Structure 1
Amino acid sequence: MSGTPLMIRASGLTKRYKTVEALRGLDLEVPEGKVLALLGPNGAGKTTAVRCLTTLLQPDEGSAEVAGVDVLADPVGVRAKIGLSGQYAAVDEHLTAYENLVMIGRLYHLGKPAAQQRARDLLDRFDLTEFADRPAKTYSGGQRRRLDLAGALVAQPPVIVLDEPTTGLDVRSRQQMWEVIRDLVSGGTTLLLTTQYLEEADRLADDIVVIDHGLAIARGTADELKARTGGERIEVVIADAEDRDAAIRVLSEVTLSDVRVGDNGRELTAAAGGSGASDLLRVLQGFERETVTVLDVGLRRPTLDDVFLALTGHAAEDADSDAADAAGDETEKELAR
């Protein structure tokens, strides 16, 4: 990426709340026209990082620039360069989609005709024209998220920041959001995305930073992170918990990896080797030899839990809750209202 200007740069970002250190020296770089995903569980510090970069919070230490503008020295200038879609859709529930977008355009001083045309363009782009004259309070979660993202694009900013844009959406709505985001990036937009979903980061991001307790604990592409977590997983559900030891023995011999056992003692997971399909066949042959009855078996891609187990030794849901992010979430809910 030599020669490509950086649209987001952060160095040593630190944010403390009494005894909680939400960020502990976070460094980020996002080149123009690229997507960086901040991947981590609730409480990792993702939302705090977003708030610092978008001028909603002032870091205690460190520096940051967005589109060449210093976040601390010129916050107003930064706001003119970014579009932000937070965890909670910030739309006026009593206004229609069209009225919401026109209002945002007027706030950006576009002028009434320009704001109206921009609203119509965005409604069409986000497949919301059919609902344009309905109050936002009647929208589904996916429709509200699309409207919120459309609002972030009214001023056509060069940098978009999306804080967990698909959390809580159903599968169809999530896929629709992914399509919208891919269209934005193909048009040259620079994107910072926070997510709890490795699959989402895999599909959308050029690069991924994994965060845990305010620190970047890993960086790389999705493929690089998967390689560090052992690639595909073999998942098995056996019929009888009494066969667990035999099943673990077979999985260990084939995969040469540790075997995770579910709470009920019948769900087993192990990292596959170089060829997941070949390892799976050998496991099934071993089960037949050991007369282990299988109810379900398959290969799956690594999850966020797999990444955290490999990098930190604990699962994502075991990470301590970040009180600072929790308090910030309540603030964002109030702003969204």
Structure 2
Amino acid sequence: MSSLLQRRTVSAPQGSASVETVIHADGLSKTYPDGTAAVDSLDLSVRRGEVFALLGPNGAGKSTTVGMLTTGVVPTAGRAWVAGIDVAGRPADARRNIGVVPQRNTLDRSLTVRENLIFHGRFFGMRTADARRQADLRLEQVTLADVAGKPVDGLSGGMTQRLMIARAILHQPAILFLDEPTTGLDPQSRLALHSMVRELRAAGQTIMLITHDMQEADQLADRVAIIDHGRLLALDTPASLKQSMAADTVVTVAAETPPRQLAALLREQVPGIHDVHILQNAVLLMVHGGRAAFPAIVAAVTGAGIVLRDIRVDEPSLETVFIRLTGKELRDR
């Protein structure tokens, strides 16, 4: 992928965000008329050139946060700036600095692949010749030049995502929002999209990745903000979040007994346990020296006459960070 992105120099309003901060949110909140607090006093900053993951389960407030940052949702309280522009005060100017790849396909099915990009460029004020030139460059960048004249209905899921990314960066936005970009993609298309995200970052593009996929956030993000029930729970690099576990090993144990009873047994009989979390069908142990704890776990379970179904030993992950913060698995929320 060629490096076609151009950096912008943006002056931030005094007291809000520096020129190296592309997104800045200060006490951002949204409460809907029915009383639902979707986002509660969110503070965050996204640095120029980084991939910043907004990670959380469905209903955590991710979409509302992105809606406020992209001018589609009016905040109840707080302020936000994109590329130094007050999102609520100057929404039209803010939108010129934003590129969005939504979850659903929003391409114009009456137009060809190339025409979709040209129309987008014209919408953002490009001259026709410039829009055509940029469309051709972007199609080369996302390896879709060979289907430029085809209708978008004939594209695969992966090709559709690549085209929507090409459209979103056509006007050279300061920030690209990717909303659950790999949902529904096959493994090959997923890997291809991950590669594209890395290449965009290498070209200088700032990206906010909205996802509930822990592995995706771990692999792609420079920093991760974990949110749940509208509140920011943690924000750091993936490595630092995992190091915050205060345990070097995570052991998941499933047996023919209720998880709560199993947890009590293991806490009492297995040394080195730092924390215990009861999952839907298993118990998760955060321990020191987990490899050494393995035989003690087996002995405790079998010694109590309980049938051991499964035992798995892993290193700490963003999934276990989320469990430590919330007490539940992300997929259960």
**Fold equivalence (TM over 0.5):** yes
* Conserved 8 A contact 2:322-2:330: yes
1:9 aligns to 2:24 (yes or no) = yes
> Of residues 99, 104, 109 in structure 2, which corresponds to 1:83?
99
Q: Distance in 1 between matches of 2:248 and 2:151?
A: 46
C-alpha spacing 1:295/1:17, structure 2 compared with 1 (3 Å): closer
Aligned to 1:188: 204
State the shift of 1:253 in Å.
Answer: 1.8
Aligned-partner residue type, residue 189 of structure 2 = S
Range with greater deviation from structure 2 (117-126 or 61-70)? 117-126
Moved more, 15-24 or 301-310: 301-310
C-alpha change, 1:148 and 1:129, in structure 2 (3 Å) is same
Mean alpha-carbon deviation: is it higher for 127-136 or for 198-207? 127-136
**CA shift at 1:71, angstroms?**
0.7
Is the Cα contact below 8 Å between 2:272 and 2:293 reproduced in 1? no
- Measured after TM superposition, the shift of residue 89 of structure 1 is 2.6
- Amino acid aligned to 2:185: L
Deviations 1:34-79 (A, max 9, x none): 2221110001101111111111111111111111111111111111
Q: Distance in 1 between matches of 2:249 and 2:159?
A: 34
Separation of aligned partners in 2, 1:92 and 1:167: 20
Alignment of 1:236-275 (within 5 A): 249=266, 253=270, 256=273, 257-258=275-276, 260=278, 263=281, 269-273=284-288
Return the offset for 1:150: 0.9
The aligned counterpart of 1:283 is: 294
Aligned 8 A contact 2:168 2:176 in 1: yes
Higher RCO (CA-CA < 8 Å; seq separation 6+): 1
Find the aligned partners of 1:251 and 1:95 in 2 and give their Cα distance: 66
Contact 2:276 2:283 in 1 (8 A): no
The one-letter code sitting in structure 2 at the alignment partner of 1:6 is T
Q: Aligned residue for 1:50?
A: 66
Judged with a 3 Å threshold, the aligned counterparts in structure 2 of structure 1 residues 303 and 136 are, in CA distance, closer, same or farther, namely farther
Structure 1 residue 314 corresponds to structure 2 residue 328: yes
Aligned mate of 1:216, from 201, 222, 232: 232
Residues 209-263 of structure 1, C-alpha deviations (whole Å, 9 max, x = no match) = 111111111111112222344454334567x779x969x6499626514265663
Instruction: List runs of 5+ in structure 2 lacking aligned partners.
Output: 1-16
Q: Secondary structure at the match of 1:210?
A: strand
Return the TM-score normalized by structure 2. Answer: 0.81
Residue 258 of structure 1 aligns with an amino acid whose one-letter code is V
Moved over 6 A (4+): 291-296
Are residues 132 and 285 of structure 1, via their aligned partners in 2, closer, same or farther at CA, if it must alter by over 3 Å?
farther
Contact 2:99–2:176, Cα closer than 8 Å, also in 1 = yes
In the TM superposition, residue 205 of structure 1 has moved relative to its aligned partner by: 1.6
Q: 1:9-31 CA distances to partner (integer Å, 9 max, x unpaired)?
A: 01011111122111111111012
Q: Which has the higher helix share?
A: 1
- Post-superposition shift, 1:93? 2.5
Distance in 1 of aligned mates of 2:56 and 2:297 = 36
Structure 1 match to 2:147: 131
Q: CA deviation at 1:269?
A: 4.2
Q: Which residue type is aligned with residue 270 of structure 1?
A: L
Distance 1:250 1:30, change over 3 A: closer
Please give the root-mean-square deviation of Cα atoms over the aligned residues, in Å. 3.1
1:119 CA drift (Å)? 1.4
Letter in 1 for 2:323: L
| Residues 215 and 262 of structure 1: CA distance in aligned 2, closer, same or farther (over 3 Å) | closer
Alignment of 1:135-154 (within 5 A): 135-154=151-170
Cα displacement (A) at 1:159: 1.4
Residue deviations 1:269-307, cap 9 Å, x none? 43353x5xxx33651586489599977654445566533
Counterpart contact for 2:252–2:311, Cα < 8 Å: yes
Q: Does the CA-based 8 Å contact 1:196-1:304 persist in structure 2? A: no
**Percent identity for Structure 1 against Structure 2:** 34
Residue of structure 1 equivalent to 2:11: none
Output one character per residue of 1:71-114: Cα deviation in whole Å (capped at 9) or x when no partner: 11111111111111112132112322212112112222322222
**Distance change >3 Å, CA 125–CA 254, structure 1 → 2:** farther
Note the alpha carbon deviations across 1:99-140, whole angstroms, 9 max, x for none: 211211222232222222211211121122233333212222
Q: 1:131 to 1:284 in 2, by over 3 A?
A: farther
Normalization by structure 1: what TM-score?
0.80
Give aligned pairs, total: 309
CA contact (8 A) 1:197 1:304 kept: no
Change beyond 3 A, Cα 1:115–1:127: same
Number of the residue aligned with 1:68? 84
Is contact 1:234–1:280 with CA below 8 Å preserved after alignment? no
